[in-house]
Structure 1
Amino acid sequence: MRNIFIAIIALLLVGCKQDITEKDLAKINGYWEIEKAELPDGNKKEYKVNETIDFFQIKDKKGFRKKVMPQLDGTYLMNDLSEKIEVEMNDGNVVFNYSTPYAKWKETIVSVSEEKLVLKNDQDIEYHYKKPKPFSVK
């Protein structure tokens, strides 16, 4: 009986995984603010204030990510540094292959919606993003 219960729970967890399609990639374009990082041991790091925000641009399975800095007038300050992205899609799994002149790494999309994005890196750290709320002191 215990084995059946464990099998049912495992099936539910596997069945809840979001299949990411090429259409879902368009939801990633734009600005994303990190909310928290979840470590493999269950610990979490909350991000209350972010000095930088990630800007993603993906088209035809290629694109980039830049770190941008929100300004008091509601705009974003960008520099020329960016991380190239090549998108790899296999059976509902989507992997971002990043590269810079200095490093290469991967992140898997766990889930994506209009307001939330979860990426998991090779060290099994999950990064939870949300759409930033615009602010201005005008």
Structure 2
Amino acid sequence: MKIKILIIVLFSIIVSCKQAVKETDIENLNGYWEIEKVILPDGEDKEYKANETFDFFELKDKSGIRKKGMQQFDGTFLTNDVSENFVIEFNEGKSYINYQTDFAKWKEEILLLNKEKLVVKNKNDLEYHYKRPTFFTKK
């Protein structure tokens, strides 16, 4: 009986320690992000050693756009006119990015967001881990 109570208490502590993304954290979404890895539903990691493209988020209030960008050798960025509109949603202690284009709608749960890390999970249980990129600069 004591073991069951101990397990319940420990489980409650672990669950309650999970940090939810707060509204004040959302401003950290702005800027460039580089995919680091994807964790598949079976737990397997797919590592990304080098990336040519970066995701760029521009957020104002709770809505914004996401674009893909490529850094050029002169330090500038090349983007196309394709962008995905999104709205941030907070619901039952969780936060989501709701995307919409002319062709589709989808949502990703934000699991972690700070100045250096972004982790989102989609409806297929794919977990995308991003980091802030290190850019090369023109000398």
**TM-score, length-scaled by structure 1:** 0.91
- Which secondary structure does the structure 2 equivalent of 1:106 belong to? strand
Aligned-residue RMSD, C-alpha: 1.6
CA distance in 1, matches of 2:9, 2:71: 46
* Structure 1 residues not aligned, in runs of 5+: none
**Counterpart AA for 2:64:** G
CA distance in 2, matches of 1:107, 1:115: 19
Q: Which residue of structure 1 aligns with residue 133 of structure 2?
A: 132
- Compare 32-41 and 87-96 and name the one that shifted more: 87-96
Structure 2 counterparts to residues 1-138 of structure 1, below 5 A: 2-136=3-137, 138=139
CA distance in 2, matches of 1:41, 1:10: 23
Question: What is the CA distance between 1:9 and its match in structure 2?
Answer: 4.4
CA distance in 2, matches of 1:76, 1:36: 23
Instruction: Report the CA distance shift for 1:125/1:13 in structure 2 as closer, same or farther (over 3 A).
Output: farther
For the pair shown, which has the larger CA radius of gyration, 1 or 2?
2
CA deviation map 1:78-107 (0-9, x unaligned): 111011101111243111110111111110
**Counterpart AA for 2:124:** Q
CA deviation map 1:33-88 (0-9, x unaligned): 00000111110100001111000111121111111111112221111101110111
**Counterpart AA for 2:53:** T
**TM-score, length-scaled by structure 2:** 0.90
Question: What is the CA distance between 1:17 and its match in structure 2?
Answer: 1.9
* Aligned positions, number: 138
- Compare 6-15 and 100-109 and name the one that shifted more: 6-15
CA distance in 1, matches of 2:20, 2:10: 19
**Counterpart AA for 1:98:** Y
CA distance in 1, matches of 2:90, 2:13: 23
CA distance in 1, matches of 2:35, 2:6: 36
